[in-house]
Amino acid sequence: MPLPMYYFLAVTAIYILLSWSIYLPYRVMHLHFMSVANMTISGYLGAYAALSWGWPFMLVLVVGIVVGAFVGWITSFAIGDAPTFAVVIVGFTYIYISKTVVENTDALGGTLGLFNIPSIHSDPSTSKLLLLIIVYLFVILMGFLIHRFENSRLGRAASAIFVDHQLAKSFGINVKRTGMFLQTWSSAMGGASGVLYAYLMRNLFPDFFTFHLIGIAMTMLFVGGYATMWGGLLAAPLLWGGPLLFPPEIASWRIVIYGTILVVMLVLKPEGLITRPLVYRIESYFRRRRDRRIPS
Amino acid sequence: MEQSNTLLDVKKLEVSYGHVDALKGVDVTVNQGEIVVLIGANGAGKTTLLDTILGINTPRSGSIQYNGTDITGRSADINVREGLTIVPEGRGVFTSMTVTDNLLLGAHHNMHESSDKIERVYQWFPILKERSDQMAGTLSGGERQMLAIGRALMSAPRIILVDEPSIGLAPIIVNNIIEILVNLNKEGYTILLSEQNAYKALKIAHRGYVLETGQVVLSGTAEELLEDPAVKDAYLGA
Ligand SMILES: Nc1ncnc2c1ncn2[C@@H]1O[C@H](COP(=O)(O)OP(=O)(O)OP(=O)(O)O)[C@@H](O)[C@H]1O
Ligand SMILES: [Mg+2]
């Protein structure tokens, strides 16, 4: 596989996971960026364990997810039902702290970064292919779980909380527990993304895990459409892949391009490209076709 | 004194929002099988009382007993599980969700046999069945009120707290809603109803309380209140 293709697919998958990890807490109006910090924590922890203790990939991945979930869960006790601005601040703080810790820890490579993270197979191209397969299987698994969640009682509860959490409470919905659940899930996905990113790139730089990463993921979510899981899925390859096709002198303006697209989108179509009514229409179209095929 | 079976017993309830004392020692009881009405002008504290009973507000002092258990300060999600439910003021439905999803929200804590429950709601409100796939935002005011009541029924309640169901509805629709409440009561649901439309509410209620600036100023059977000169003067416009 050509190297640009590999990087395109690899980074697209990470961005899909990252935009979903921001999408999930946003289902209850929480703009939670902690998953970026979870990427840093689990990514570095995993890379270190692989390099220094020889842990195998699968173990690193599982531990990365568990650590992400745990950090998210513990934090969610404090901010599971906090107002949006408090959640934003906590997320930023975690990102700042985790980046600073990494930069000042020599064992993690400091500002220079961490190199030569092992490949998962002795043959480099097999290793790359295997990794891509695992990463996309993980994306599909997460997509499936999110889709299940949307159509469950928890998904409905989240939609109710998004609109009016006071009203949601009056139906017996536990607002805090719903928020905690989504924040924990988001952080677990962040942890997974960190480990997967480390193995895909085979090196880690603290500069990657910063606010511009939030900017990109947020653009993907809000341009694609924050009201369903499909928005991030569509926008990640478009927004990440599109600028790769530009000539290099334009490509370095990527952040400016993203910012412009985001602002234009928020003004013209605040709900994003893919809206909930659109998804609802498509789903009920398929439901009707299915019902017609199975006469009752 | 008739043999009573107290389902809800509110004693000396005080609730404040910051410096605003919304309830200043309210006593209200509701017996099993009754329709009890709370009458009061805007700001009297009706919504505050109902929200506090359900567990959305926390009282500063006083107690709430439900079915023999002290539920003071217990959270709403437990109370809904135990059979309390509310039809919120202003027909609080989720406009960008379908009618079915709104109903299912009512069964949030117990999805067991939810399709049977929906069918039963559709028997009460056939119009909702016709609209089941529509967004709730496309419903008329009366239909939204029906949806809000239907959603409350989805939680399999024992007592339904109904907050000003008639507000902003045409008289004929109000009669419709009132009739539904009577029928629900005949089916065995206990109802605590807040209303500014005092005449219509007292006509169907067993007992009533008059609330003024956070205090009960008068209480009695519905007949007594309908005949009371002060009530007539202030709330019946006679
Ligand atoms: N969230 C709040 N914050 C501050 N004050 C409040 C709040 N909710 C209600 N109040 C105050 O508490 C008092 C009682 O309000 P409440 O809504 O219970 O009255 P109500 O009888 O339901 O009135 P209405 O018929 O207009 O619905 C009012 O003085 C109101 O201004
Ligand atoms: Mg009110």
Cα distance between the two ends of chain B: 31
Pocket probe mutation, ligand 1, options B16, B46, B193, B196, max atoms within 8 Å of Cβ: B46
Share of chain A above pLDDT 90, in %: 68
Above 60 in pLDDT, residue A286?
yes
**Per-block mean pLDDT, blocks of 10 residues, chain B (238 long):** 77 94 95 95 93 94 94 93 92 87 90 87 92 91 92 93 89 90 94 91 94 93 90 75
Overall number of domains in chain B: 1
H or E stretch covering A236: helix A230-244
CATH of the domain at B21: 3.40.50.300
The whole-number average pLDDT for the span A3-14 is 92
Is B121 among the domain residues?
no
| Residue that has been written with the tokens 């109802």 in this structure | B191
The whole-number average pLDDT for the span A101-108 is 93
How many Cβ pairs within 8 Å bridge chains A and B? 62
Q: Which of A160, A167, A172 sits opposite B88 (nearest CB)?
A: A167
Cβ contact (<8 Å) for A172 and B133? no
Contact between B86 and B152 under an 8 Å Cβ cutoff? The reply is yes
Contact between A161 and A29 under an 8 Å Cβ cutoff? The reply is yes
Mean pLDDT of chain A: 91
Q: Which amino acids bring their CB within 6 angstroms of ligand 1?
A: B 17, 20, 22, 40, 42-48, 89, 196
Higher pLDDT, A242 or A206: A206
Pocket probe mutation, ligand 1, options B14, B15, B20, B37, max atoms within 8 Å of Cβ: B20
Above 90 in pLDDT, residue A251?
no
pLDDT one-digit tens code per residue, B117-173 = 899 999 999 999 999 988 999 999 889 999 999 999 999 999 999 999 988 888 888
Q: How confident is the model at residue B1, as a pLDDT?
A: 43
Cβ contact (<8 Å) for B101 and A156? yes
* Cβ contacts of A156 on chain B, cutoff 8 Å: 97, 101, 104-105, 108
CA of B16 to the centre of ligand 1 (A): 10
| Residue that has been written with the tokens 């439900």 in this structure | B66
Is B33 among the domain residues?
yes
Above 90 in pLDDT, residue A289?
no
| DSSP-assigned states of every residue in A75-142 | HHHHHTT--HHHHHHHHHHHHHHHHHHHHT-GGGTGGG-B--PPPSSSSHHHHHHHHHHHHHHHHHHH
Is B19 among the domain residues?
yes
Q: Does residue A121 sit at the B interface (CB-CB below 8 Å)?
A: no
Contact between B142 and B91 under an 8 Å Cβ cutoff? The reply is no
**Closest residue (by CA) to atom 4 of ligand 1?**
B17
pLDDT one-digit tens code per residue, A265-274 = 889 988 899 9
* Cβ contacts of B155 on chain A, cutoff 8 Å: 171-172
Domain ranges across chain A = 3-209, 211-296
* Cβ contacts of B133 on chain A, cutoff 8 Å: 284
Q: Would you tell me the crossing angle of helices A153-163 and A175-201 to the nearest 10 degrees?
A: 110
CA distance B47 to B164: 9
Question: If DSSP codes are grouped into helix, strand and coil, which group holds residue B121?
Answer: helix
Higher pLDDT, B90 or A106: A106
Q: How confident is the model at residue A294, as a pLDDT?
A: 62
Cα distance between the two ends of chain A: 49
Q: How many other C-beta atoms are found inside a 10 Å radius of the C-beta of residue A34?
A: 30
Q: How confident is the model at residue B2, as a pLDDT?
A: 46
Whether this prediction's pTM lies above 0.80 is answered by yes
Q: Which domain holds residue B65?
A: 6-92+156-235
Is B110 among the domain residues?
no
CA distance A117 to A141: 25
